[in-house]
Amino acid sequence: MSLPSVEQLKGQWQQHLGAAKVSWGNLIDDQPLCAAGRAQRLAGLLQARYAFSRDDAEAQVKRLLATHKG
């Protein structure tokens, strides 16, 4: 069993922060905060799973959202 890399640990932290923003946004009915939290959580998942840098993970999410924008 190998230890997680620093980028993976940072990604896990970003996931937690994103989940907190989603929860807080739901609590105060702040949809932009919820959306930002979901994007941050997704970037954290990418960072933790693939050991991307934070900038690379956020860029991946931005590209995905731009591609699927309605």
Residue environment code for 13-40, b if the CB has 16+ CB neighbours within 10 A, otherwise e:
ebbeebeebbeebeeeeeeebbeebbbb
pLDDT in tens, 4-58: 889 999 999 999 999 999 999 988 899 999 999 999 999 999 999 999 999 999 9
The yes-or-no verdict on residue 70 having pLDDT over 80 is no
Band the pLDDT of 2: cuts 50, 70, 90. confident
Q: Considering the entire predicted model, what is its pTM?
A: 0.80
* Domain ranges for the chain: 7-65
Residue 57 contacts residue 13 (beta carbons within 8 Å): no
- Report phi then psi at 4, rounded to 5: -70, 150
Q: In this predicted model, what pLDDT tens digit does every residue of 56-69 receive, in sequence order?
A: 999 999 998 889 87
